Structure 1
Amino acid sequence: MNMFRFLGDMTHLFSVLVLLLKIHTIKSCAGISLKTQELYAIVFATRYLDLFTDYISLYNTVMKLVYLGSSLSIVWYMRRHKLVRRSYDKDQDTFRHHFLILPCLILALLINEKFTFMEVMWAFSLYLEAVAILPQLVLLQRTRNIDNLTGQYVFLLGAYRSFYILNWIYRYFTEVHYVHWITWISGLVQTLLYGDFFYYYFHSWKNNEKLQLPA
């Protein structure tokens, strides 16, 4: 494992910890999109179907369990925990995320590395992850005022994908026959979606101001 892959995994892990810290400690999910969290739960559930059939390493297995378990627990907190559920802004989180699922599934059926159930589900999870952040970004634009933990969570998610792109570039030049177009293009699309958020995040950090997105 190279440094970029490790940093990507760690920033992804920290993003989850930041969100769980906010939900568990403050008992608030204000500014967090349930729609995005549900999409991530679907992403990890379909990507890690090989969890108990293909063993790669202890590290790999633990990280899969952490991502899957944390995504399901976040959805549970936001839907079932009384105190957390009260802070959820359902009226603002109205992105129709269901309309993202079917196009991603159709795309996976048409474009995949191998037409088997596991490979189609793997491709589906990549396509869906690429756009899963959209409900969250739309919610942030509507609410505008973003608290620190929510801003850190979204920033770390974007940083995770950016490090993975560096990981792919590194592996392309250091490994023989390392080519995964589906993964690369999906990851690039996902990273580009964070572009506007990154701009305003660094602008607020530079000027020591509260993070706000334009309406």
Structure 2
Amino acid sequence: MKATKTPIHAVTTWLRRQPPKMKVFLAVLSGIVALLFLRMVVHDHDNLFVAAEFVHALGISLLIYKFAQEKTCAGLSLKSQELTAMFLAVRLYCSFVMEYDIHTLLDTATLGTNLWVIYMMRFKLNSSYMNNKDNLAIYYVVIPCFVLSLLIHPTTRHHTVNRILWAFCVYLEAVSVLPQLWVMQNTKIVEPFTAHYVFALGVSRFLSCAHWVLQVLDTRGRLLTALGYGLWPSTVLVSEIVQTFFILADFCYYYVKSLVGGQLVIRLPSGVICSFLLLRILLYNITISPSLLGLLVDV
């Protein structure tokens, strides 16, 4: 006698059988539906950005709880935490000199907890740090972001250095999670607290992306002009979309799937990091062999 399939299991099975183009279409459609829902429910879309920063801080709080309860930092990327501290510090500086508001206070609190996480990983819990898995060279992330910020930055009336730093923190934030995804892909198994933390990052990035998109729609494009002219406004939106839908979307899918299935530990297939590899190819012009290209297409 066959076991009765639940509706959720039937839907996930159907999704798994769909071709890649259909999966991309469904992901885009889901994102549009979610944006429309937020537009109807949230009247002041500035609150979405505040919510994004709050969820990010909540994710870091989960790491603090993990350290306190389990006395281990296994599965976490120290490099990703250092990149997070870097873009938060730069954004905090820009916030102080360009627009002091509630985001400044939230970033200060988030940076403080993030620095504490780095301290614990480096000194108190160093024996459990998976250094051999956290082997993505950090300059692969920082240098392209800095070069891009020199080429494309706001054209506002602020000092040139401040405008470049503003662009740098936007670009760095968009890719700061890549070392963490690299570690998870190397280990293949993600324990609960790390999974909760990365999912919180995914939710945070979606809320931030929704904030920018809805603000552009509400102002009928005038917000883009307020941010400056040239390539900068569109680059900001692309950075948000890349991080939300191309870097974190895969993991969030497997997180929800595991949660619905009652699993506390997430097992990642090799294809989750595919989007990251494609991004590296685009950013750094890496020459790849036909066999690797075939692997990326297959997954």
TM-score after normalising by structure 1: 0.91
Q: Deviation per CA, 1:141-187: give whole Å up to 9, x if none.
A: 11122111110000000110111121122212223611232321111
Residue of 30, 41, 49 corresponding to 2:85: 41
Amino acid at match of 1:150: T
Structure 2 counterpart of 1:184 = 237
Q: Which runs of 5+ in 1 are unaligned?
A: none
Q: Which structure's CA Rg is the greater one?
A: 2
**Separation in 2, partners of 1:54, 1:103:** 24
Residue of 174, 181, 186 corresponding to 2:218: 174
**Separation in 2, partners of 1:142, 1:52:** 39
Within the alignment, does 1:71 sit opposite 2:114 as a pair?
yes
Q: Is the 8 A contact 2:76 2:194 kept in 1?
A: yes
Structure 2 counterpart of 1:214 = 269
Aligned-pair Cα RMSD in Å: 1.8
Within the alignment, does 1:56 sit opposite 2:85 as a pair?
no
Map 1:1-215 onto structure 2 (within 5 A).
2=45, 3-54=47-98, 56-57=100-101, 59-81=102-124, 84-114=125-155, 116-175=160-219, 177-179=222-224, 180-191=233-244, 192-209=246-263, 210-215=265-270
Percent identity, aligned pairs only, is: 32
Decide which moves more: 192-201 or 104-113. Answer: 192-201
Query: Helix, strand or coil: the match of 1:48?
Result: helix
* Count of equivalent residues: 212
Between structures 1 and 2, the one with greater helix share? 2
Q: What is the Cα deviation at residue 206 of structure 1?
A: 2.0
Change (3 A) 1:51 1:73: farther
**Separation in 2, partners of 1:51, 1:166:** 21
Q: What is the Cα deviation at residue 52 of structure 1?
A: 4.1
**Separation in 2, partners of 1:94, 1:36:** 11
TM-score after normalising by structure 2: 0.66
**Separation in 1, partners of 2:261, 2:70:** 27
Structure with more relative contact order (C-alpha pairs < 8 Å, separation 6 or more): 1
Moved over 6 A (4+): none
Q: Deviation per CA, 1:63-86: give whole Å up to 9, x if none.
A: 0211221222221111122xx111
Q: Deviation per CA, 1:126-151: give whole Å up to 9, x if none.
A: 11111111111111111122111110
**Separation in 1, partners of 2:63, 2:137:** 22
Q: What is the Cα deviation at residue 26 of structure 1?
A: 2.5
Q: Deviation per CA, 1:7-35: give whole Å up to 9, x if none.
A: 32221121111112212342211110011
**Separation in 1, partners of 2:71, 2:82:** 19
